Structure 1
């Protein structure tokens, strides 16, 4: 609740709509918890997520992965369920194909143009001539309507200081706003100006000319976000419950039943001054055990050693001891599971929340 409320207040303070990216939690229960039990605009990364959240009553959805013609039939089916589904592209030829499909199938696709502000993963530069070309195609042809522009400041994850994060947030804002201005000056509509990542959403000082803010991992936070100053380790709301299954006395380490399949093998904190191996080790109640680290992750085995290389105190962790591991990357770790156990006071499960997997 603390994580959810913090981002809600941030969006309200900046005067923009918060559109949570559900790719982290993939759970309507989590998003409804942060919105007083009501549906809200959301972002998805798979059409499976769009279908799942549509089943839960969410009707304003951005599918924030480049659309391809082979997925249009499925997108059309989601729209027929009363969902305002917005899709994104960065290619003029695909824009034409979407229009042709929409015209032939008596449907109208709301299309956004993806803008690349830093990461060079997908999208077009704000001043690229192709932005206006695509806007013209979407606006003028049958079967499509221009909904706006969207970006993700992926390089914010490389920032190491608060000042760098503030600068990354301003760069994201300025560049997506410039892309929108270019489209409007060319004579085309640009209703939605959408930006966001958890780091830039957290550190944005103003979002002038932006209409909405997207972020995802903030709902749980993780070791990487904490290390970058977007939260603290005590804000991390997701953990994997595991059990000590073996003592390796000759190697001064213990083995748990949470390996790569349970924790993921994401080591996003590697090479930083807050490296936590494959996860932060806690006791059953979530209290961090400072000198322990998950140094290895085989498929079903997790290896825990001391950080400083001192001898392991095996008596404190007999076989059968239950521990919690806080993840490096909450999205990747959560993807291993079909549901969440909501706990209070250690292992008392007070609720179970569903989530979706797949594409």
Structure 2
């Protein structure tokens, strides 16, 4: 963890992305313990933070069994001693060679397939040293983004085709319950988790019935893994990611409390405009993102300690802050004073920053530098 000359987050140049190390460690510990108790392997997703230091916390230092969403992430973690990496993204044909190189380099590198055409691409590039491709089939359990619909005959046909292909191993069945993001409260989250778990386990049983035995089962999303249902104990793995930081969106869904949100964007007041009843801050969308669409009562973020003001709009480098109602008391917000923004979506905000300032109780303990690219 790299050090910085500044000792306290209040003295940072803004805008700055700050990470509360104590909350990160707590979030990691809670999720790990939750699935250890269920007897299910936690395969944490790296896409939220994309840093080595946070990955070490999420894996308990094992440097094994992770999920990534880009090959840049996969290569970054492989170069730093990580193994058993699942590239959980429908196989891009232009990246087959890079996937092959990682498969040949690591003891375990997994790819995701949801079509026969993608499987044919793997067949055209047999691995060296007698290795087999480790393939997870993406199953769509009503999330609707990627994968073969679980109830369609094509799903079973593809799984059989993978299992029968020379040089390829059907390692597991992978489902993302992203539809849990439409939930409001624990009951709705658990309903989605139950549905996805049931469909995934039923599909594995269908495979056994036609002689395909052994594939693992994995589902994931931060909401479903924050409130798991008992049947999830029958899964092989789960793969949440956002939980390490959490965010305002997750608190609204019911995955967490605001106290569990580990990240903030710090910004300073740079302008007073009484004729517009408005403050200007040095946080635009390049420091926060436009995710959430400003739908919160406080606009694009929760402004910590100030429920009476809202971030109403942003341009590239500027943010406009107004009162929720009434006249703004400008004396509360002197020029140069700092505001702390809790992001709507931590993944989208984190990707805007080349460095994260990591602190414990406001004292900076280091910096994390995420990998970038695809």
Provide the C-alpha distance between the structure 2 equivalents of 1:345 and 1:127, rounded to a whole number of angstroms. Answer: 50
Provide the C-alpha distance between the structure 2 equivalents of 1:168 and 1:159, rounded to a whole number of angstroms. Answer: 8
Provide the C-alpha distance between the structure 1 equivalents of 2:124 and 2:59, rounded to a whole number of angstroms. Answer: 38
RMSD over aligned CA atoms reads 1.8
Find the counterpart in structure 2 of residue 57 from structure 1.
Answer: 81
CA drift at 1:105: 9.2
Go from structure 1 to structure 2 and tell me whether the alpha carbon gap of 1:246 and 1:340 turns closer, same or farther (over 3 Å shift): same
> 1:57-87 CA distances to partner (integer Å, 9 max, x unpaired)?
1101111110033211001111222241111
Higher relative contact order (CA 8 A, sep 6+): 2
Find the counterpart in structure 1 of residue 368 from structure 2.
Answer: 353
> 1:94-140 CA distances to partner (integer Å, 9 max, x unpaired)?
21221222268965211111011112111112232222222222222
Question: When the two structures are superposed, what TM-score results if normalisation uses the length of structure 2?
Answer: 0.89
Residues 96 and 137 in structure 1, CA contact (< 8 A), matched pair in contact too: no
Provide the C-alpha distance between the structure 1 equivalents of 2:335 and 2:74, rounded to a whole number of angstroms. Answer: 43
CA drift at 1:191: 2.6
Find the counterpart in structure 2 of residue 165 from structure 1.
Answer: 189
Residues 99 and 138 in structure 1, CA contact (< 8 A), matched pair in contact too: no
Provide the C-alpha distance between the structure 1 equivalents of 2:165 and 2:127, rounded to a whole number of angstroms. Answer: 9
Residues 223 and 233 in structure 1, CA contact (< 8 A), matched pair in contact too: yes
Provide the C-alpha distance between the structure 2 equivalents of 1:292 and 1:162, rounded to a whole number of angstroms. Answer: 29
Provide the C-alpha distance between the structure 2 equivalents of 1:261 and 1:20, rounded to a whole number of angstroms. Answer: 27
Provide the C-alpha distance between the structure 1 equivalents of 2:176 and 2:53, rounded to a whole number of angstroms. Answer: 25
Find the counterpart in structure 2 of residue 285 from structure 1.
Answer: none
Find the counterpart in structure 2 of residue 17 from structure 1.
Answer: 41
Provide the C-alpha distance between the structure 2 equivalents of 1:125 and 1:86, rounded to a whole number of angstroms. Answer: 21
* 1:89 aligns to 2:113 (yes or no): yes
Find the counterpart in structure 2 of residue 324 from structure 1.
Answer: 340
CA drift at 1:35: 3.6
> 1:282-317 CA distances to partner (integer Å, 9 max, x unpaired)?
2xxxxx32212211111100111222x121111111
Find the counterpart in structure 2 of residue 264 from structure 1.
Answer: 289
Find the counterpart in structure 2 of residue 122 from structure 1.
Answer: 146
**More displaced stretch, 158-167 vs 105-114:** 105-114
Provide the C-alpha distance between the structure 1 equivalents of 2:206 and 2:344, rounded to a whole number of angstroms. Answer: 39
Alignment of 1:37-76 (within 5 A): 37-76=61-100
* 1:279 aligns to 2:301 (yes or no): yes
CA drift at 1:268: 6.0
Alignment of 1:1-359 (within 5 A): 1-102=25-126, 107-206=131-230, 207-267=232-292, 270=295, 275-282=297-304, 288-307=305-324, 309-346=325-362, 348-359=363-374
Go from structure 1 to structure 2 and tell me whether the alpha carbon gap of 1:40 and 1:269 turns closer, same or farther (over 3 Å shift): farther
The number of residues matched between the two structures is 349
- Structure 1: 5+ residue stretches without partners: 283-287
Residues 40 and 233 in structure 2, CA contact (< 8 A), matched pair in contact too: no
Residues 27 and 354 in structure 1, CA contact (< 8 A), matched pair in contact too: yes
Residues 134 and 170 in structure 2, CA contact (< 8 A), matched pair in contact too: yes
Provide the C-alpha distance between the structure 1 equivalents of 2:45 and 2:336, rounded to a whole number of angstroms. Answer: 37
> 1:176-231 CA distances to partner (integer Å, 9 max, x unpaired)?
11121112211113432010100011111221431101111100000000112211
SS in 2 for 1:135: helix
SS in 2 for 1:266: coil
> 1:215-274 CA distances to partner (integer Å, 9 max, x unpaired)?
11100000000112211112111111111110111111211111111000001672xxx5
CA drift at 1:337: 1.3
> 1:23-64 CA distances to partner (integer Å, 9 max, x unpaired)?
001112112123433313111000111011112211011111
Go from structure 1 to structure 2 and tell me whether the alpha carbon gap of 1:208 and 1:269 turns closer, same or farther (over 3 Å shift): farther
